[in-house]
């Protein structure tokens, strides 16, 4: 395999693929000093050559694009001529874009697929892929190969209809990026209560972990506690009062109470809804 890019996903994937017995021939980067340096560091870890699009030999059956969504099409186009007659498969890992971003490689004879892991990859963390789902979309031959590779990595796959991909990624964005946006809002709310961010993290993690554990074991309805299920409108009114001066926190609070009133068990719904309108 050859991997295009040397960022978060590329670094994780290259290491994991290598451990699973795959040979990484090249790490293909852009031609800036910084990009080549990143590619060299990654290539040396996985026994590959660090190359750019002009020095790449592309002696790989599979080209895996791990570049930002906005650059996939151009990166594929820039390698298509050299890949002709060599590369049999090309993947990218965007959750939102379709395999057709790689159309130029298909025209060069490769079967193409989008292969999106529902996992977060950041420097300093090495998640296990056990039970991690990869959404596949694309040509039959390419998705067949993707299934095999993902299985070798310990993950699972499901085939996503092209028309559902944007909606799939909107959902996927809630699982980590927007969940983190919620957590930093939670830290901001703690500051209103006079706590530091560090205190907020330390004090909130036990209840957050327990909530996740309950959610996983009992489901959302049976994990739900607090003023909304009890219908304590005066408590919610107090919260809204203190958050008035912190509109960024208040907006998230209101949106989440509304979501709870729509989807979770609650008493006194009418009164609670009325409070939110003020
Ligand atoms: N990170 C995640 O948690 C995650 C999870 C699932 C899917 N993905 C998907 O994985 C892909 C990569 O995301 P990422 O988080 O790994 O991004 P990233 O950390 O920003 O890395 C992107 C890499 O692509 C390189 N690059 C940019 N344009 C390039 C080009 N034209 N040719 C070659 N290399 C190029 C960048 O290098 P320079 O800028 O130094 O040139 C960098 O090494 C995206 O499609 C994303 O949707 C990511």
pLDDT (tens digit, 9 = 90+) per residue, 102-150?
Answer: 999 999 999 999 999 999 999 999 999 999 999 999 999 999 999 999 9
From the CB of 77, is ligand 1 less than 6 Å away?
no
Q: Would you call 198 helix, strand, or coil by DSSP?
A: helix
* Contact present, 139 and 99 (Cβ < 8 Å): yes
Q: Where are the domains of the chain?
A: 2-162, 177-277
Choose among 79, 80, 61, 56: nearest CA to 23. Answer: 61
Rg for the chain (alpha carbons), in Å? 23
From the CB of 117, is ligand 1 less than 6 Å away?
yes
From the CB of 155, is ligand 1 less than 6 Å away?
no
Helices (H), the chain: 8-19, 33-46, 69-83, 103-107, 140-152, 165-175, 177-192, 197-218, 227-230, 233-242, 247-263, 269-277
Q: Ligand 1: which of 2, 40, 66, 135 to mutate, judged by most atoms within 8 Å of the beta carbon?
A: 66
From the CB of 120, is ligand 1 less than 6 Å away?
yes
In the numeric block, which tokens belong to residue 85?
């007659």
Q: Ligand 1: which of 34, 68, 146 to mutate, judged by most atoms within 8 Å of the beta carbon?
A: 68
In the numeric block, which tokens belong to residue 202?
């330390």
The answer as to CATH 3.40.50.720 being correct for domain 2-162 is yes
Tell me the average pLDDT across 61-74: 98
pLDDT (tens digit, 9 = 90+) per residue, 206-253?
Answer: 999 999 999 999 999 999 999 999 999 999 999 999 999 999 999 999
Q: What is the DSSP letter of 125?
A: -
Q: Which residue has the tokens 């607090």?
A: 226
Q: Ligand 1: which of 2, 7, 43 to mutate, judged by most atoms within 8 Å of the beta carbon?
A: 7
pLDDT (tens digit, 9 = 90+) per residue, 178-213?
Answer: 999 999 999 999 999 999 999 999 999 999 999 999
Residue nearest to atom 42 of ligand 1 (CA): 7
């Amino acid at each position: 395999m050859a991997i295009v890019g040397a960022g978060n996903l590329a670094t994780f994937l290259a290491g994991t693929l290598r451990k699973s017995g795959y040979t990484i021939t090249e790490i293909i980067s852009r031609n800036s000093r910084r990009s080549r340096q990143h590619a060299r560091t990654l290539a040396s870890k996985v026994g590959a050559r660090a190359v750019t699009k002009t020095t790449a030999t592309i002696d790989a059956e599979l080209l895996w694009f791990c570049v930002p969504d906005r650059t996939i099409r151009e990166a594929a186009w820039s390698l298509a001529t050299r890949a002709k007659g060599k590369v049999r498969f090309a993947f990218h890992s965007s959750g939102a874009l379709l395999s057709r971003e790689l159309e130029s490689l298909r025209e060069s004879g490769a079967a193409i697929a989008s292969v999106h892991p529902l996992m977060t990859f950041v420097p300093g963390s090495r998640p296990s892929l056990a039970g991690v789902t990869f959404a596949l979309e694309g040509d039959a031959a390419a998705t067949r190969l993707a299934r095999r590779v993902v299985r070798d990595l310990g993950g699972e796959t499901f085939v996503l209809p092209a028309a559902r991909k944007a909606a799939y990624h909107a959902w996927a964005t809630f699982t980590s990026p927007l969940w983190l946006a919620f957590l930093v809002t939670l830290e901001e709310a703690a500051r209103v209560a006079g706590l530091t961010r560090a205190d907020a993290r330390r004090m909130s993690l036990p209840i957050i972990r327990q909530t996740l554990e309950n959610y996983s074991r009992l489901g959302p309805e049976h994990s739900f506690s607090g003023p909304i299920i009890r219908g304590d409108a005066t408590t919610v009114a107090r919260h809204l009062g203190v958050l008035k001066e912190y509109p960024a926190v208040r907006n998230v609070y209101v949106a989440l109470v509304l979501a709870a009133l729509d989807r979770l068990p609650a008493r006194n719904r009418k009164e609670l809804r009325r409070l939110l309108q003020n």
